[in-house]
Amino acid sequence: MAEIAEAGFDTFLENENGFEAYTEEKKVDTALVESIKEKYKHVDPLLFTEDKIDKQNWNEEWEKNVDTVVVEDQCLIRAEFHKIEKKYPYEIIITPKMSFGTGHHQTTYLMIKNQLSIDHTNKKVMDAGCGTAILSIMASKRGAKNIEAFDIDEWSIENGEDNAALNIVNNITIRRGTISDFIWSTKFDIILANINKNILLAELIAYSMNLMDGGLLLLSGFYVHDIPDLLVEAEKHGLKYQRQEERETWASLLLMKTI
């Protein structure tokens, strides 16, 4: 999504299969788009499709096509313009801009679903690769004491802070960088990471080092068939399997630090 944005696209909408990107045709850097396709041609499954559509009121069209998301009949995820028809125990307002995490993608849904059953009360939480900060906001609403969130994308920092303000949440600190860029004085009770498999594999050791004994690590961003590889690496760092969830071809893992 970040690279597509660099090619001139400025409006993004997540869907079940990935995301859609929109812009005016004259703004598109076609050469950069082609280089992005070439860069990722080895990734399977991955599909690019392109289409030209008539000019119209995009804000209006976007609002028509962005639905609310309800997770396990417990948490409503909506945009500001949605009308509230039913009250839920938890409600999160998200304006996605160019950041990942609106609840529409299976992995975000799985993370929120797991958070509903994890005790966050007075816990210190890390949100690695926070995107829209939706998981941080949920952690706060679930009673977390404070949340340290970070992302490599500058617009995620701005977007996350905007969303935190929208939800009247003031115990989230959002910074730019990766987990290796920060040093914390105390370890975390809960670490949340909805990223891709390769990054998770590389950072499992860092998650373990920053997780207190008995602390929980909740992961998503990968396919069901990726679980064995993640579990093998997790075992090396004292992260023990607790449970897994699946939604279509996507999965989540809950691990506990045991050493």
* Domains in the chain: ranges and CATH: 2-64 (no CATH), 70-257 (3.40.50.150)
Contacts of 166 (CB under 8 A, 6+ apart): 80, 93, 94, 95
CB of 124 within 8 A of CB of 186?
yes
More confident residue, 117 or 2: 117
Structure-token match 């958070």, residue found: 115
Spatial separation of the C-alpha atoms in residues 200 and 116, rounded to whole Å: 22
Q: By C-alpha distance, which of 199, 159, 196 is closest to 179?
A: 199
Residue 11 has pLDDT above 80, yes or no: no
Query: What's the number of CA atoms in the CB half-sphere (13 Å) around residue 41?
Result: 6
- Can you say how many angstroms the Cα of residue 142 is from the centroid of all Cα atoms in its chain? 17
Give pTM, 2 decimals.
0.78
Residue 63 has pLDDT above 70, yes or no: no
The 10s digit of each residue's pLDDT in 156-208 is: 899 899 999 999 999 999 999 999 999 999 999 999 999 989 999 999 999 99
Residue 61 has pLDDT above 60, yes or no: no
The total of other beta-carbon atoms located within 10 Å of residue 42's CB is: 7
**What's the average model confidence in pLDDT over 228-238?**
97
